[in-house]
Structure 1
């Protein structure tokens, strides 16, 4: 079986978001999966619900509790919605010491196509397989890190890992050391560090396998062409304020899990009006860009 890894610190109802991601994976897969859930906090009630989803698709689950002391050493970037659990992905090669390859997914993604194609991507001797951020986001991150604009910047929310190679070259351990250096200012935490440490040691795949907010604004793939929707940013699809054109997909899969029946968070008239205003502005901006391009 192929190995799928997710990480979770069960707060802000992330148990149900993980369940939604898992269901979207399994429902659209051709094969069974060997699933590893690395967690800091996870209730027995949530495990029972996750097991129900996984067992219904005849897949296997392994729960791995990460040492809280390992995570407490890290400093989380200021001004972000992230927590120290994001650093848990740096321990994956050692936690899965008997496995040779794994696919890592964030818990704020919805999978629309079989992941086997992504899992089997040819890494051509590189340590990891990733998908690049949108061009605007890449430029912003490279400038923030004072890196050459000739480089590229990837999103770490979807990664194919050659675990054997990573254990041999120790690059995730080097990334941990880089993150722990008190002189480092890493706004996007281990993602920034991974981009620095893994320069020229990653293969890229089509953006449809990690279709982020930035990629949504810059491209026009239709829904049935996309493999993974990644709801990046601090406003998620379960929040009323979200204006993502794909938020309905989150709710579609959520309502097929044991968590069905939940409603949008922060649902007020003020937030609804603000959301619709943002959607209108984005729509008119895209029209202006399209008209400008025709001139």
Structure 2
């Protein structure tokens, strides 16, 4: 597999955790990791490289030209950095012999082999991704100008058909759209990808990108009506966990019911093995996971996380 991720100096720890989770669960074959950045401190770059090579992976590093990103809108209040836009450059940065890649955000942990996802057919599609299942901004379809029947996908996990991106010249189209419609963008590059590829996205099972919002009461209530069995299966045994909103597992106030998964893989890295939760924090995390599962099965609203609207 060819795995792509974007990071800056502040997110190297989380990038390392994500990569360890990937390699721990995908030990068959030799995988390549392509890291995009505007420039990492040498010691931080080596931390990522050492993890990849320790699993016999191939490591590739791509410097993003910051001048290409001057027009990318980022507000001081945004919880994302300019690195979120790097994925728009994948088709131009990576060698042309690479036909498909799996893009993963760094606030993710992988908990299963990804062969099934990797082998998904992308004939006629630009990418495969997971629909946000109604957790996107309420004005998104009117704002981006397409029919709600196509849904809105999250860009944290993308299986990308690079051949399609290159044949259609999508990199240029992405930045042209951004220059003309920057006032419409609330979710940054994710909005751009949806605005241009809404009908060229293959929606795959939510298990491949279980977002933080999926554990909120308003989402569970909608999902339960649609497919209760799928909801329980995906939420109880997420294949890919995406800590897509704050507070993140490494932040003190996080009550995500599966926050321990982050530390499970972080502690497998030699350099971050000392970053552990206290006994009391671990106990609370186990309680949150058990209690939330019970409430979901019973259809009762009660957990602090589950109460979020």
Tell me, yes or no, whether TM beats 0.5. Answer: yes
Displacement of 1:79 in angstroms is 4.1
Partner of residue 137, structure 1: 136
- Encode CA deviations 1:223-268: one digit per residue, 9 max, x unaligned: 774210000013211111111111100011111112221257xx9x
Aligned pairs for 1:31-70 within 5 A: 31-70=29-68
Aligned pairs for 1:218-257 within 5 A: 218=220, 219-221=231-233, 225-257=237-269
Cα distance change on mapping 1:53 and 1:191 into 2, 3 Å: same
- Encode CA deviations 1:111-158: one digit per residue, 9 max, x unaligned: 001122111111232111111113233756436646533330000011
Partner of residue 71, structure 1: 69
Q: What TM-score, normalized to structure 1?
A: 0.84
Partner of residue 201, structure 2: 202
Aligned pairs for 1:273-288 within 5 A: none
Aligned partners of 1:148 and 1:248: how far apart in 2? 39
Which of 243, 248, 273 pairs up with 1:260?
A: 273
Query: Retained in 2: the 8 A contact 1:35–1:62?
Result: yes
Cα distance change on mapping 1:175 and 1:223 into 2, 3 Å: same
For the aligned residue pairs, the C-alpha RMSD in angstroms reads: 3.0
| Secondary structure of 1:103's aligned partner | strand
Q: What TM-score, normalized to structure 2?
A: 0.81
Unaligned runs of 5+ in 2: 221-230, 302-309
Displacement of 1:44 in angstroms is 1.4
Unaligned runs of 5+ in 1: none
Aligned partners of 2:296 and 2:12: how far apart in 1? 39
| Secondary structure of 1:37's aligned partner | strand
Aligned partners of 2:143 and 2:259: how far apart in 1? 29
| Secondary structure of 1:122's aligned partner | coil
Aligned length: 279
Cα distance change on mapping 1:170 and 1:35 into 2, 3 Å: same
Aligned partners of 2:16 and 2:101: how far apart in 1? 19
Cα distance change on mapping 1:141 and 1:232 into 2, 3 Å: farther
Aligned partners of 2:257 and 2:191: how far apart in 1? 27
Cα distance change on mapping 1:290 and 1:127 into 2, 3 Å: same
